Structure 1
Amino acid sequence: MKTAVNAKWPPVDVQQQRQTAINATAGALSHLVTPNLAIAIDLSDAEAALQTSELRSKGVSSVSLTGDEQLLVLDMIFDKTFEESEGGDDQNI
């Protein structure tokens, strides 16, 4: 499973993610004259909001959010047995 996922979505390290986020944010902020919205939320509240029956029905058994130097880290634990029909036409899955 790991090989198939990594082949479709190659992993990137934290520094690459951080730099991409900084570049995207800097670009977006350069177009704002003044801030028009600010929001703050406790990560525990966001975690609770993500604990939905829809996610559980997809096999997500746990969700954890943590902050890491301007990045939001989302850890999800899956407990799912995939059926053959869920592989689609890709015989590599």
Structure 2
Amino acid sequence: MSRRFREVANSRMVVFGEDWKSATLEGLKGCERIVAITSPRQAAVGEEIVSALGERGAAVIALAKVHVPEEIVAEAMEEVRRVGADGIVTYGGG
């Protein structure tokens, strides 16, 4: 049995499973500047995502942590605004 799924609701899409990278890239078609938000430990995956996006990949924000504190969210959103992102990919979690 395959363990993967894709759920789209409002402006959010959750992708889980083997083909998550291509499904994620497909879901970002309308975005021009995209950031990847990861934990510091997962930053290399964020770099892969940003690289796969080519010129649309704006930055990796490697600040996420378990039970993300409000200050970290504020810092990440500052960076999102600074680079002019119109799309956000988050990687990790459970």
TM-score tier (shorter):
under 0.3
Q: Which has the larger radius of gyration?
A: 1
- TM-score by length of structure 1 reads 0.26
